[in-house]
Amino acid sequence: MEENKVKRQEKPASERQVFCLSGPTHLTAVDWNNFNHRRSVAASLVQGVYILEHDRQQNRQDSQALAPPWWDSFDFQLIRPLVDDVDNSIFGAIYELKPFTSKCNYSAQNAPDYVIAFRGTINKSDTMSRDLKLDIQCVRNRLHESSRYHLAMQAVQSIIDVAAAKGHHRSLQPDGPFTLLCKWVPYLFVNPADPICSGYIGYFKHRKKMEEIQAGKIERIATLNSLLKSDSEPLHLILSANLTINLSKSPDFKRAHGIHQWWDPSFDGQSELYEYK
């Protein structure tokens, strides 16, 4: 076992895991009112989860760990990683804005106090089996039946409770799932060359076209019926979104699906709000 750990430590890290070599180092000062800055930091925090898991697999600890700069660079601290109860992999992280970070200046007023980030699939032997099984559950709209989902939801609820205890607004209205989904306007970042996520582009463009030809009412009724007839939680339904599309060409699937594109300083994108009415 010890020999295995030594071998893991000796394996060189990919440059794409090292913040100073591939991270958004151009953001020396974050303006939280700048959409490009917010997108870059969000992607960096997600990358931090990936690198936490790579650190775990390679037994990189303390000064050898590569993950901390991905959040430290933007004045966040890691409260705790989220660990899968099946394969012990790190699949998420809870971050908190460092207490000394002042929100008095204009550029920091929109900074989040807490961020919960989740990684996607890692094609390594330690995680591949569990991750691919969850990918299949996601395709079948059964991800909410997994223990990883429940651990994630517990983490989200715990942060909501902490924020509420600190005086942040929390709605106590017992809204139904359809009402909650109507209020939710997530930010989606999609590359047209990514076959896994590009479907969102056609989905929202179709919705917009239906609205333009006055068929939106039919669409709304169909969506509501789909929700009411579903025997599972409507996690796959996104009624509204602020959709950002990367207009730059991607040479291959890995680049199109990868996270590094979202903090590229030369990012060329287009954003549009699709709002369910």
What pLDDT digit, counting tens, does each position of 228-259 carry?
455 544 445 788 899 999 999 999 999 999 99
Question: Do 90 and 155 belong to one domain?
Answer: yes
* Cβ 237 vs Cβ 227: under 8 Å: yes
For residue 156, what are its two tokens?
């989200």
pLDDT in tens, 148-173: 999 999 999 999 898 888 776 555 45
Question: Do 259 and 147 belong to one domain?
Answer: no
Q: How far apart are CA 155 and CA 81, in angstroms?
A: 10
Question: Do 48 and 160 belong to one domain?
Answer: yes
pTM for this model (two decimals): 0.86
pLDDT computed for residue 141 by the predictor: 84
Question: Do 152 and 216 belong to one domain?
Answer: no
For residue 201, what are its two tokens?
């582009």
- Could you give the 3-state DSSP secondary structure of residue 167? coil
Q: How many domains does the chain divide into?
A: 2
Domain containing 21 equals 1-170
Q: How far apart are CA 88 and CA 59, in angstroms?
A: 14
